[in-house]
Structure 1
């Protein structure tokens, strides 16, 4: 006698699970411009690679004869699959079942997904839509008690959500309304993405916030512009398909876990490539900015630059890229914003990005252009110097190979932390580089006040002093004393950076770092 009847019942239950919240809820999801969780998983993973775990977990009701009458699946769908041939763990919220709220899930499923990623050393992709916390207010009535956050043994999800940041790549896609624990899971990632028209993220949504006297829509409270500018979310795209593509690109630069090394890919770009425009890309006029992204994209392998956090801490650009096929983490000052000065937000951005590079063994390239920390009342109110010394600590504590190219400005304390202290790093400077304790502009009048006050022609004396100091400030004078190792022809830069990537690859070591990464 075979077990076919049991297999038939299994297939029937699996079909019920794949129906999710039913045709009406699925239609409502599509009408809102959003895919269902199962469509999202299929679109994110390589074709036919998804192996689901716990498909028939949920709530069932039975007739007097013990036969299944109704089945509502858990609104957490999880399992393993592949992205570009590499194994990953994926876990997604099903908004068609109780709006993705945890009172309709089985909490062991997301916990198992996080644990599986940690112990199998696999990247994890979280597809988030809903609250994912302790349920709704109505849960008090349906369960007959109030939920103590975390409960007894319920903190495992919180533990793995943070701990996995030090072990495996974590990608989080916010593809609808995300609140409470869902928002925490979105933020607690190495790379987070929102869809511009269909997603929002908040600690508590408009109904709760507006009860306090506000009148805010979802977009006004937690739309992509709010969250990306605040730095809570890294990236925003126009469609879910673009979100999946961004996730795939992000993962392509990282190893599967901290116990592996980044993969060098074949490169069709010439490591010896040069460009005449690099010789004149930095304007002689100090008041004239330039497009740092164009410089970065020119120096790196063509088409390889993948920027993170574009709308946050905008005086600094952070991006993954490749040099002769080798993944690197790139930091660049952006003179289009505050002349490249490091604001409190820029420092927070640097800290997180340097920690990310350290965690996953990515060599760092710093295209330096920073006239110092941002100054003024707002800078003091934002505790810029505290964020600055935290950035200093992150840079000094990192151990991955580091190469700095000073393009223009390097002044003050911020200028001093353009590379890690206490160990060997590579450093080059372009002829356009200028450095010191503080820029001459504004500093001359303070330092030479007595001479200027005594001068018959103050303007002429000021111009004479400035001309004299500008000659002394030449980077060639600094290199003469070996205070700067090499002043290079900008057209040599890509060749030297590709050499750096090859040398760096030889000394990279896998393993978990002593200080774990935090969100």
Structure 2
């Protein structure tokens, strides 16, 4: 029997009889079930519940029921809380952290959820160590951890000082356990209200986060504290709404509703293993390996400066789902827009997809794009997802803004992530690969093993020809007597280089291993990913189990499984 659905049809007379029954534990059980019923039944007169509904927000138990498979929630700490007076269960305030086991699409997960209707989510409305206990339990069980964040969730209130009669040195309130969990299991967060302090830290101590337009905000400190510190008079939305944090990379995705946020987390989890010690879940889609899309032969314009739709290109290559839609699930669409990342399936096998968007700054990678690349490649490497790397990289962004944003320093993180990844990477150069950034993306494995091909639209070198000619022949071009003469000379120089830049010239000298028909991309990629799942990824998992499957518990010196 689930704690959220206690069944107690005994009358008050029955309970009075049970009190006098010294041979049974029925009365304590009846008290337990009565309290569980009270906690799980919304009180329409409660000011916190009224406020929650007035803001068009689901109540904490409604959220859990909405997110998890029906009837799958098994709560831990179902009666944790504080009575107003010892033994007074009529005026009982439950902990504002609700947690337990459940299932998402029939897969076991662990959920922690904030109840903003109790003390606005402040830590002094919770039970010490409860959230940290849950995150540690999820890690030990090797199941994904999902947080439904609404409040400060581990932060504090100055009112606590009066209650305990002293101030205190702040602790991390379970953040250490969050970092431990992140090392082993997928961690995802839905921001479904204002998220402050350590809850904001929890948002970024995870692998995926999504916030809801107009409903959720994130900040280190809320408007009243900001007003006293910086004299800025800001609303919650202008301080930390989605237009701030879904465009700077603090939060990965934006949703239009709570239900949409939960669905995005379900999709995210569907591509990941339950822990780093397991293979990603294979789910056959029925799509054919030999599907050859005619549109791929013309999707890259012959004019090299013309843009195209990279998302359409990705959808033509990866699996279609049973309904005929794409299996591509994009992450971070609203930030680092020159880079496109996400998960997809090939022959049912999950993989990461990495590319650039020529419609954003020509595809040149900036500081945000570098951060986005590094985080995503590290995520795929951590959970053993092969990466389909579609390269059209004109190089690092240049100019004063790029320099002020420390683009090259962030670029080093992206390059290191690509170079150090141990998962298989299938690199397909679909158009440009210029400069240091182009080299990093087009040759992510250095000189090590890796599969790489190019399309006939490939175009590469130390610099793009147009800009490179301007630099190399500056003196001659500046010496032209008229602008018309200068343009004529520029066209002559471009003509001389046109044959040299033909990618087949590079293939002649084995500078690129193979040039393929774009229509063969899907069949080749499917063959690659099937081989990776059969022969490469199992070895990676085995090595992890041997190396990291046990840890030492500091307090006892005994070993235990992570």
What is the match of residue 205 of structure 1? 222
Q: CA RMSD in A?
A: 1.8
What is the match of residue 226 of structure 1? 244
What is the match of residue 386 of structure 2? 363
Structure 2 counterpart of 1:244, from 247, 262, 277: 262
Where in structure 1 are there 5+ consecutive unaligned residues? Answer: none
Q: CA deviation at 1:451?
A: 4.6
Cα deviations by residue, 1:17-74 (Å, 9 ceiling, x for unpaired) = 22467643323212211001111111111110100011111112447xx564421111
Mapped partners of 2:220, 2:88: distance in 1 = 42
Structure 2 counterpart of 1:6, from 23, 28, 34: 28
What is the match of residue 435 of structure 1? 460
Mapped partners of 1:73, 1:347: distance in 2 = 44
What is the match of residue 377 of structure 2? 354
What is the match of residue 437 of structure 2? 414
Structure 2 counterpart of 1:54, from 57, 77, 100: 77
Mapped partners of 1:428, 1:21: distance in 2 = 63
Written as runs of structure 1 = structure 2, the 5 A alignment for 1:59-98 is: 59-62=82-85, 68-98=89-119
Cα deviations by residue, 1:298-337 (Å, 9 ceiling, x for unpaired) = 1111220000011111000001000111100000110010
Mapped partners of 2:136, 2:44: distance in 1 = 30
Contact 1:21 1:96 in 2 (8 A): no
Contact 1:452 1:458 in 2 (8 A): yes
Mapped partners of 1:68, 1:173: distance in 2 = 32
Cα deviations by residue, 1:450-506 (Å, 9 ceiling, x for unpaired) = 554677854433322211112101100000000001111111111111111111112
- Secondary structure of the 2:433 match is strand
Q: CA deviation at 1:340?
A: 0.7
Name the count of aligned residue pairs.
Answer: 509
What is the match of residue 291 of structure 2? 273
Contact 2:149 2:193 in 1 (8 A): yes
Q: CA deviation at 1:77?
A: 0.4
Whether 1:387 and 2:410 are equivalent positions in the alignment is yes
Mapped partners of 2:518, 2:126: distance in 1 = 57
Structure 1 counterpart of 2:164, from 128, 139, 143: 143
Mapped partners of 2:192, 2:155: distance in 1 = 20
Mapped partners of 1:472, 1:459: distance in 2 = 21
What is the match of residue 175 of structure 1? 192
Contact 1:20 1:96 in 2 (8 A): no
Mapped partners of 1:443, 1:61: distance in 2 = 75
What is the match of residue 7 of structure 2? none
Q: CA deviation at 1:169?
A: 0.5
Structure 1 counterpart of 2:151, from 130, 136, 149: 130
C-alpha change, 1:164 and 1:113, in structure 2 (3 Å) is: same
- Secondary structure of the 1:417 match is helix
Where in structure 2 are there 5+ consecutive unaligned residues? Answer: 1-22, 321-325, 549-562
Q: CA deviation at 1:431?
A: 0.8
Mapped partners of 1:355, 1:16: distance in 2 = 45
Mapped partners of 1:20, 1:98: distance in 2 = 16
C-alpha change, 1:9 and 1:384, in structure 2 (3 Å) is: same
What is the match of residue 137 of structure 2? 116
Mapped partners of 2:499, 2:470: distance in 1 = 18
Whether 1:485 and 2:513 are equivalent positions in the alignment is yes
Highest RCO, 1 vs 2 (Cα 8 Å, sep ≥ 6): 1
What is the match of residue 18 of structure 2? none
Cα deviations by residue, 1:123-154 (Å, 9 ceiling, x for unpaired) = 0000110002342122222222123111xxxx
Mapped partners of 1:77, 1:21: distance in 2 = 17
